[in-house]
Amino acid sequence: MNEDEFRYEKLSWPEVNDAVEKEKMIVIPVGSTEDHGHHLPLDVDQRLPAAICEKTVRERDDTLLLSTLPHGYLPHHMDMPGGITIRWDTFVNYVIDVGISLAHHGFQRILLVNGHGSNHHLLEQATRQVNLQYPGVRCAMLSWWDLEEVKETLREVRDGGPQGVGHGGEMETSVYLHLAAEDVDMEQATRDVNVPDNPYFHNVDFAGENRPEDSTAVTMMPWWTTFSETGVMGDASAATAEKGAAIFEAATNGLDNVLDGFAAYPIREIVDKHPRDVSDDAYNPFRPR
């Protein structure tokens, strides 16, 4: 048995058919190439979800791992050096095309695992389009820090205070320390929590821990250097490899649980409830292909 057999790209085409026959699920890590402060490399948002997905999928026999999509949507980071940004519509269409390629070959359950905050809303749109175009396919997405298991662990281990768990902050730095401490320069890890005195407009905390008076109803993303000095949004100085190990384990457990649920999710046929046939193009604008 090949130890890489969970990697989609390692299959031959007859093995692709076998995998479809066995109803294997597909997991796709999606990331970005983007500045994460002075202390972290540009690959944080791709390396973390890739590692979480690899660890999880490797231990399952019903799932395949597609290679990581490394570039995402980050025009608001282009005031910082290094980022590679993909236009929002190009990114959405690219992800749709990846999804419908898999659907075309017969895969029915596709899960995108996101590692970059500003991909989230676009991935949600892309997965919807795959489901609309292929009614027999279930395409889903999650951002890994949104897993309940991760949030629970963060509440236990975090020290950086409200809004400390943002971009390049306590969570991402800790997980990177766990995966590859040699690539993190903790001497340069800073706390950059620029909290405006405003309950509606404040820093994002991935774990949802804000000041008690803060609302999360409003979403706004201005240019990065207008609210961050170092590129960090959070508290990188509070990061440790031990916290990272706990967060990483929570993420792999959480993803494993999601995949259990996904495997069990029934795929039912659409039932057209109209009294007459409306399956013409004019009434069916949601399947462009």
Give residues in contact with Zn ion (CB under 5 A).
Answer: 44-45
* CB of residue 206 to Zn ion, shortest distance in Å: 9
Residue 44 or 112 with smaller CB distance to Zn ion: 44
Residue 138 or 205 with smaller CB distance to Zn ion: 205
Residue 6 or 73 with smaller CB distance to Zn ion: 73
DSSP of 155-177: HHH--S-TT-SSTTSHHHHHHHH
Q: Which residue is nearest to Zn ion (CB)?
A: 45
* CB of residue 169 to Zn ion, shortest distance in Å: 9
CA–CA gap between residue 241 and residue 177 (Å, rounded) = 5
* CB of residue 192 to Zn ion, shortest distance in Å: 14
Residue 24 or 47 with smaller CB distance to Zn ion: 47
Residue 107 or 224 with smaller CB distance to Zn ion: 224
* CB of residue 126 to Zn ion, shortest distance in Å: 19
* CB of residue 62 to Zn ion, shortest distance in Å: 29
Query: Which amino acid appears at position 104 of this protein?
Result: H
Residue 17 or 194 with smaller CB distance to Zn ion: 194
183 in Cβ contact with 41 (< 8 Å): yes
CA–CA gap between residue 108 and residue 50 (Å, rounded) = 21
CA–CA gap between residue 33 and residue 48 (Å, rounded) = 12
* Lookup: tokens for 113: 């695992």
Which residue stretches of the chain are H helix?
13-21, 44-58, 88-105, 120-133, 148-157, 170-180, 241-264
* CB of residue 150 to Zn ion, shortest distance in Å: 14
CA–CA gap between residue 237 and residue 270 (Å, rounded) = 51
